[in-house]
Structure 1
Amino acid sequence: MTVSGPAAPLPDERRAQVIALLRRRGVLRVTELASELDVSAITVRRDIARLASQGLIRRVRGGAALPGATMAADALISQIPEVSASPEAMPEAAGDAGTRATVGMVVPSLDYYWPDVIRGVREAAAASGTRVVLRGATYQAADERRQLSWLVDSVGVDGLLVAPTTTGEDGEELVRWLQSADVPVVLVERAAAVGPYREAMESVVSDHAFGAAMAVRHLAGLGHRRIGVVTTMDSPTSPHVRRGWRQACEELGLGLDDAVDANTVDRRDPEWPHALNDLLDRCSASRTTALLVHSDPEAISLVESCQERGIRIPKDLAVVAYDDEVAELCDPPLTAVRPPKSAVGHAAFGLLSARLADDDAHRPRHRVVIEPRLVVRSSSL
Structure 2
Amino acid sequence: MTDTPVPGAAKRDYLPAERRDMILSLLTQQSVVTVPELAKLLNTTAITVRRDLTALANAGLVKRVRGGAMSVGEAPERAAGQPAMGLGGVVTGHTAAGVPTVRPVTHQPELSPDQPAIGVMLPEPSFFWPGVTGHMRDYAARLGMRLVTRECAYEGATREDLILQSFADDPTVCGIIAAPTASASADHNAWDWIERTALPTVVIERDQPTLGTCYVDSVRTNHQYGVRKAAVHFLAHGHHRIGAAFNLSPTAAQIQDGWRQVVDASDAIDCPFVFDGIQPYDTKGVGGIVDKILLSGVTAMLVHSDYLAIAIAQELERRGRRVPQDLSMISVDGFATPSSRPLTVLRSPEQDLAQAAVSMLVTRLQDPAAATRHLFVDPALIDRGSVVDVTPA
Taking structure 1 as the reference length, the TM-score comes to 0.69
1:193, 1:200 within 8 Å by CA — same for their partners in 2?
no
Output the amino acid matched with 2:155.
Q
Q: Where does residue 377 of structure 1 map in the other structure?
A: 384
Cα 1:140–1:236 change in 2 (3 A) is: closer
Q: Where does residue 134 of structure 1 map in the other structure?
A: 149
SS of residue in 2 equivalent to 1:265: coil
Q: Where does residue 322 of structure 1 map in the other structure?
A: 332
The aligned runs of 1:28-177 (5 Å cut-off) are 46=98, 100-143=115-158, 144-154=160-170, 157-168=173-184, 170-177=186-193
Q: Where does residue 363 of structure 1 map in the other structure?
A: 370
1:179, 1:194 within 8 Å by CA — same for their partners in 2?
no
* Aligned: 1:218 with 2:218: no
Cα 1:218–1:275 change in 2 (3 A) is: same
Q: Where does residue 283 of structure 1 map in the other structure?
A: 293
SS of residue in 1 equivalent to 2:331: strand
SS of residue in 2 equivalent to 1:253: coil
- CA deviation string 1:252-274 (max 9, x = no partner): 41455x62201023224xxx100
Deviation, 1:239, is 1.1
Whichever structure has more helix as a proportion of its residues is 1
Distance 2:345 2:211 in 1: 38
* Aligned: 1:260 with 2:276: no
Question: Any stretches of 5+ residues in structure 2 without a counterpart?
Answer: 1-93, 104-111, 389-393
SS of residue in 2 equivalent to 1:305: helix
Deviation, 1:224, is 1.1
2:245, 2:304 within 8 Å by CA — same for their partners in 1?
yes
Cα 1:194–1:240 change in 2 (3 A) is: closer
Distance 2:120 2:220 in 1: 15
Aligned residue-pair number: 285
Cα 1:156–1:129 change in 2 (3 A) is: closer
Distance 1:330 1:194 in 2: 41
Distance 1:251 1:282 in 2: 24
Q: Where does residue 245 of structure 1 map in the other structure?
A: 259
Mean Cα deviation higher: 134-143 or 347-356:
134-143
SS of residue in 1 equivalent to 2:259: helix
- CA deviation string 1:294-326 (max 9, x = no partner): 111111111111111111211221111111212
Output the amino acid matched with 1:240.
Q
The aligned runs of 1:333-348 (5 Å cut-off) are 333-348=342-357
2:118, 2:145 within 8 Å by CA — same for their partners in 1?
yes
Aligned-pair identity (%): 28
Distance 2:369 2:117 in 1: 23
Deviation, 1:154, is 4.7
Cα 1:231–1:167 change in 2 (3 A) is: same
Output the amino acid matched with 2:184.
G
Name the Cα RMSD after superposition: 2.7
Output the amino acid matched with 1:287.
G
Output the amino acid matched with 1:159.
G
Q: Where does residue 14 of structure 1 map in the other structure?
A: none
Output the amino acid matched with 2:325.
K
Output the amino acid matched with 1:248.
V
Deviation, 1:177, is 1.6
The aligned runs of 1:177-188 (5 Å cut-off) are 177-188=193-204
Deviation, 1:149, is 2.1
Q: Where does residue 354 of structure 1 map in the other structure?
A: 363
Cα 1:376–1:255 change in 2 (3 A) is: closer
Distance 1:199 1:162 in 2: 14
Distance 2:255 2:347 in 1: 12
Q: Where does residue 208 of structure 2 map in the other structure?
A: 192
Taking structure 2 as the reference length, the TM-score comes to 0.67
- CA deviation string 1:118-150 (max 9, x = no partner): 122112101111010111222132513332222
Output the amino acid matched with 2:337.
A
Output the amino acid matched with 1:124.
Y
Q: Where does residue 29 of structure 2 map in the other structure?
A: none
Output the amino acid matched with 2:117.
T
Larger Rg: 1
Distance 2:134 2:332 in 1: 20
SS of residue in 1 equivalent to 2:316: helix
Distance 1:245 1:238 in 2: 11
